[in-house]
Structure 1
Amino acid sequence: MTTRLESPRARSGVPRWPKATFGADLGASLVVFLVAVPLCVGVAVASGVPAELGIVTGIVGGLVVGLLPGSTMQVSGPAAGLTVLVAGAVHQHGLATLGVIVLGAGVLQIALGLGRLGTWFRAISPSVVQGMLAGIGLVLILGQIYPVGGLDQPARTAEKFSGIPGLVVAAATTAEGLSGLGLAVLTLVIMALWKKTPGRLGMVPGALVAVVAASAAAAVFGLPVAKVEVGSLLSALNPPTADAWGGLFTLPVLGSVVTFALIASAESLFSAAAVDRMHDAPKTRYNKELVAQGVGNAVCGFLGALPMTAVIVRSSANVQAGARTKLSRVLHGFWLLLFVVALPGVLAFIPTAVLAALLIQAGWKLLELRQVVALAREHRSEAFVVVFTAVLIVATDLLIGTLAGLALAIGKTAFEMSRLSVRSEHGADQVRVQLGGNATFLRLPRLLDHLEQLPAGKHVHVDMTTVRHLDRACRQAVEHWAAQRRRVDGSVELAMPAPAG
């Protein structure tokens, strides 16, 4: 018998990267880096924070989370799905408090992971998650159409709707609006056509090609459009101040901490489930991945950067580019750090309208209209949960919409689980009523209607022995009906289900 000996390095949990896979991981890391650069910057700009903070979050996602146990192929960084949440928090609490919120969310994620609650996120209704992402996509699109037209994004949803006529006029009549609209259309067209590019050239991310081409067009033609404002990476860091820490235990800030933690955790772990289906490497260990995400967010919060999640776009690019180990995602963080240190001025050439187009496309993908239509054909109630959640997020905010969607999904499931069959067999002098299924208060109106319509003057035998579950409300209601019928016009016999256990 052969015994396999593990080195102390392997037993300690330090990742091992064999030479045989180094080339594949190196190539994949460059692809992920090229995908991450425009998205990190775009998410930061859309969130109303300095562009450098998006890069910082991407670096932490690679160099910190990339080294931690949990997932193998998943890549973390700033996500479009949190853009609406971050923008709202910055508007409500200020940029100085963002680090406190993100750090608090990270600590909460660590606690959830250590408490082995990571796997419970898999129990969230997929319809609620789909509705949450669709709602985020709608808000994202609604906000990013304004930078395309050369206007500042309104803070409130109602103002975004009411400002659309003025946006249309600005985009059609002003030089900045026409230029931004042209660059956005060019960006979207290039990304759409690049998907059809054959061979190795198609491995180059379409988003990167579109950003480079549109930025070059803006520079060559001297278009009057706003550009990304870039400063020093170190000067952009925004560690929480003493005043910011003072607001941590206020109810609004605590609410933001919980919201950030739950939404970021759900998005990361649902992304993990999707990415695990794409590769044959070791699957995600959900509790450890939740701790890793928490550590990453704690570091981002300490630096005053954006919150992070596992990002499906970068993760799928990592798998498709042939990554074999965690080295690819760690190296992508190193390339991001090298980029902002060596070539920070490159970002200043990118028009904000081009980044807005990237995020509009990201928002459109979050809508998943085809899946919603297919779901409506097969399960109308599930599709209703999706639409209800999305619309409520747009009308109110992310937390209220998501919680309301979750409550609706729970109520729908409870109603569907409480299926109750009621059949009556009428004889000459008696009626036999047979009940089956689950007799809960949700079906009580239907049950009482049936019992109260039974003909008078006959003996009634109510057989509930085949009922799987009889709650207290139904039991009391049936017993009350039987007592009343006995007093008025006949005899009633009740056969109750056997006691549980």
Structure 2
Amino acid sequence: MPWNTTRVRAALRTDLPASITVFLVAVPLCVGVSVASGAPAELGLVTGIVGGLVAGALPGSSLQVSGPAAGLTVLVHSAVTTHGLPALGVIVLTAGLLQVLLGLLRLGRCFRAVSSAVVEGMLSGIGLVLIASQAYVLLAGRAHGDALADLAGLPATALRAVRTGAGGTSLAVGAGVIAVLALWKRAPRRLAALPGPLVAVVLAAAAVRLLRLPVPTVGVGGLLGALRPPGVEQLGLLARAGIWGTVLAFALIASAESLFSASAVDHMHAGPRTHYNRELIAQGIGNTVAGALGALPMTAVIVRSAANVQAGARTKASRILHGGWLLLFTLALPGLLELVPLAALAGLLLHAGAKLAAPRERLRLWRADRSEALVLAATTVGIVTTNLLEGVVIGLVAALAKTAWDVTHIRLHVEQTPAATLVRVHGNATFLKLPTLVDRLEEVTPTGPVELDLSALTHLDAACRQALTAWAERHRRLGLLVNVTPARTKSELAKAN
């Protein structure tokens, strides 16, 4: 539909205020993610700008907003530590080109086939690693660089921080930010309209400034000075085999996070649905541009996207405008960033990490489906003990093992009395389990009427159907009354699921 004056006015009426809301949410998150990743604060803002002005203008999803995400903090920090900050640009650029290729090959929807338990496990693992690393910033300490060592050393570090003036002050500032974020939903309506992260960081900055607290703040060196476009030397890093694992991890995890976010955002509004392949190409082009500038990788971010929808955005104009506000802020008011305490950003990311870990939701999954919960736990433990890519691979292997078990698992439940016998068959009756099925049936010796209930089967192949039919017919010939409740059809199973 072509844009006319009426449509432009309508979009500005809804999308202009929404863009300001998203901008206010994005500023502290862009800075916090960048600092936690071991990069200059400005690079997070550059990624947010590119996410708005470049990825935001491309087709795919109309309302989700892109920028640096807490979910990639662990991976970016690891890449910067291993390969150096100058290498970040070429890694992000190459990962972006790989995303574009995946989109052109129409593989966008394939990411939806990943087990939800693996995705939730990935988020939990990222959340725990983020908590482990940012807790040291909150306590004015130094992290070990290893998630297990960080988690193990937290109690001693917390004890030392409480005993020192600098550590106690930093802890108080960060704890104040977490308290504001946790309680912001209960604020009066007029106040709740303001973004909680922005309010928490502004209050922390004001307290540090007015009380002259000895807390380190964000260092700012200027936008142009922070840009690190990859040169010939950095491009030469692609000749190393070791760097391609990092590139692949960036591309796959950023793509998965963006497309999972798109699915969630689509449930929040009644507008046009996401075209997954186009969105993957848009994310890839955005990361290519961000990498060319030496900035952080981007994904679609659910926090900013939800704020965009809730603020009443109707078109992509909101996310494009939010990128413009970020650019204006970075050029005109970069000095304001120097007022932001590092402890405040750590509190912001600790809160984000806790939301990613989501212990209550994980406990509910354990109660509802323990096999899925085990896949989630395998992914989480794999990420904490190894790294993000290897942890996800461990989760995928666990999910495949669970699927293989489900496909071949069969169970017979027998209730036998002198008056009647009930045989209920559960699971998947395939030829792989035919010997087990026949052996279990042979153990049943009914003396009265028989009820053979197959309704709990999720699959019944021809070989097992023949064995069950033969067993029922044999007992009928012995003079017993045998009633068979048939397995459900595929359409019935689909409706039930």
Q: TM-score range with shorter-chain normalisation?
A: 0.7 to 0.9
Partners of 1:421 and 1:82 lie apart in 2 by 42
Partner in structure 1 of residue 275 of structure 2: 285
| Residue 53 (str. 1) matches residue 46 (str. 2) | no
| 1:17–1:325 contact (8 Å) kept in structure 2 | no
Partners of 1:254 and 1:348 lie apart in 2 by 36
| 2:57–2:320 contact (8 Å) kept in structure 1 | yes
Partner in structure 1 of residue 454 of structure 2: none
Q: In structure 2, the residue corresponding to 1:100 is in which secondary structure?
A: helix
Partners of 1:115 and 1:242 lie apart in 2 by 29
Task: Name structure 1 gaps, 5 residues minimum.
Answer: 1-5, 425-434, 456-465, 472-477, 479-501
| Residue 161 (str. 1) matches residue 154 (str. 2) | no
| Residue 79 (str. 1) matches residue 72 (str. 2) | no
| Residue 240 (str. 1) matches residue 221 (str. 2) | no
Counterparts of residues 390-401 of structure 1 (less than 5 Å): 390-401=380-391
Partners of 1:305 and 1:333 lie apart in 2 by 15
Partner in structure 2 of residue 428 of structure 1: none
Partners of 1:241 and 1:444 lie apart in 2 by 62
Q: In structure 1, the residue corresponding to 2:239 is in which secondary structure?
A: coil
Question: Per-residue CA shift, 1:94-127, capped at 9, x if unaligned?
Answer: 1111111111110110011111100111111111
* Aligned match for 2:324, one of 328, 331, 334: 334
Counterparts in 2 of 1:66 and 1:153: CA distance versus 1, 3 Å: same
- CA displacement at 1:422 relative to structure 2: 7.5
For 2:169, the aligned partner's letter is: S
Partners of 1:388 and 1:332 lie apart in 2 by 38
* Aligned match for 1:264, one of 236, 241, 254: 254
- CA displacement at 1:31 relative to structure 2: 0.4
Partner in structure 1 of residue 101 of structure 2: 111
Partners of 2:290 and 2:462 lie apart in 1 by 49
Partner in structure 2 of residue 91 of structure 1: 81
Counterparts in 2 of 1:438 and 1:250: CA distance versus 1, 3 Å: farther
| 1:62–1:75 contact (8 Å) kept in structure 2 | yes
Partner in structure 2 of residue 128 of structure 1: 118
- CA displacement at 1:293 relative to structure 2: 0.3
- CA displacement at 1:172 relative to structure 2: 0.8
Partner in structure 1 of residue 471 of structure 2: none
Partner in structure 2 of residue 357 of structure 1: 347
Counterparts in 2 of 1:31 and 1:422: CA distance versus 1, 3 Å: closer
* Aligned match for 2:132, one of 126, 139, 142: 142
Counterparts of residues 89-488 of structure 1 (less than 5 Å): 89-420=79-410, 437-439=428-430, 441=432, 443=433, 446=436, 468=461
Partner in structure 2 of residue 35 of structure 1: 25
| 2:118–2:379 contact (8 Å) kept in structure 1 | yes
Partners of 2:33 and 2:138 lie apart in 1 by 15
- CA displacement at 1:162 relative to structure 2: 4.2
| 1:438–1:469 contact (8 Å) kept in structure 2 | no
For 1:359, the aligned partner's letter is: L
| 2:138–2:174 contact (8 Å) kept in structure 1 | yes
- CA displacement at 1:209 relative to structure 2: 0.6
Q: In structure 2, the residue corresponding to 1:248 is in which secondary structure?
A: helix
| 1:147–1:352 contact (8 Å) kept in structure 2 | yes
Q: Larger deviation: 366-375 or 132-141?
A: 366-375
- CA displacement at 1:161 relative to structure 2: 3.1
Question: Per-residue CA shift, 1:308-328, capped at 9, x if unaligned?
Answer: 000000000000011111111
Q: In structure 2, the residue corresponding to 1:195 is in which secondary structure?
A: helix
- CA displacement at 1:244 relative to structure 2: 1.5
- CA displacement at 1:447 relative to structure 2: 5.7
| 1:393–1:401 contact (8 Å) kept in structure 2 | yes
| 2:205–2:341 contact (8 Å) kept in structure 1 | yes
For 1:234, the aligned partner's letter is: L
For 2:394, the aligned partner's letter is: A
For 1:226, the aligned partner's letter is: P
Q: In structure 1, the residue corresponding to 2:33 is in which secondary structure?
A: helix
**TM value normalised by structure 1:** 0.83
| 2:95–2:251 contact (8 Å) kept in structure 1 | yes
Partner in structure 2 of residue 458 of structure 1: none
Counterparts in 2 of 1:449 and 1:396: CA distance versus 1, 3 Å: farther
Partners of 2:18 and 2:413 lie apart in 1 by 64
| Residue 24 (str. 1) matches residue 17 (str. 2) | no
- CA displacement at 1:164 relative to structure 2: 2.2
Partner in structure 2 of residue 484 of structure 1: none
- CA displacement at 1:243 relative to structure 2: 1.6
Question: Per-residue CA shift, 1:420-441, capped at 9, x if unaligned?
Answer: 46899xxxxxxxxxx9954355
Counterparts in 2 of 1:340 and 1:440: CA distance versus 1, 3 Å: farther
Counterparts in 2 of 1:440 and 1:83: CA distance versus 1, 3 Å: farther
- CA displacement at 1:280 relative to structure 2: 1.0
- CA displacement at 1:151 relative to structure 2: 1.6
Q: In structure 2, the residue corresponding to 1:283 is in which secondary structure?
A: coil
Partner in structure 1 of residue 421 of structure 2: none
Q: In structure 1, the residue corresponding to 2:186 is in which secondary structure?
A: coil
- CA displacement at 1:371 relative to structure 2: 1.4
| 1:41–1:52 contact (8 Å) kept in structure 2 | yes
- CA displacement at 1:210 relative to structure 2: 0.6
For 2:461, the aligned partner's letter is: R
**TM value normalised by structure 2:** 0.84
For 1:468, the aligned partner's letter is: D
Partners of 2:167 and 2:70 lie apart in 1 by 24
| 1:150–1:170 contact (8 Å) kept in structure 2 | no
Partners of 1:116 and 1:16 lie apart in 2 by 35
Q: In structure 1, the residue corresponding to 2:461 is in which secondary structure?
A: strand
For 2:217, the aligned partner's letter is: K
Partners of 1:86 and 1:470 lie apart in 2 by 52
Counterparts in 2 of 1:325 and 1:16: CA distance versus 1, 3 Å: farther
- CA displacement at 1:335 relative to structure 2: 0.4
Question: Per-residue CA shift, 1:348-394, capped at 9, x if unaligned?
Answer: 01110000000000000001222111111111111111112111110
Question: Per-residue CA shift, 1:248-299, capped at 9, x if unaligned?
Answer: 1322211111111110011000000000000111010000000000000000
Q: In structure 1, the residue corresponding to 2:60 is in which secondary structure?
A: coil
State the superposition RMSD in angstroms: 2.6
Partners of 2:61 and 2:222 lie apart in 1 by 32
Partners of 2:90 and 2:287 lie apart in 1 by 10
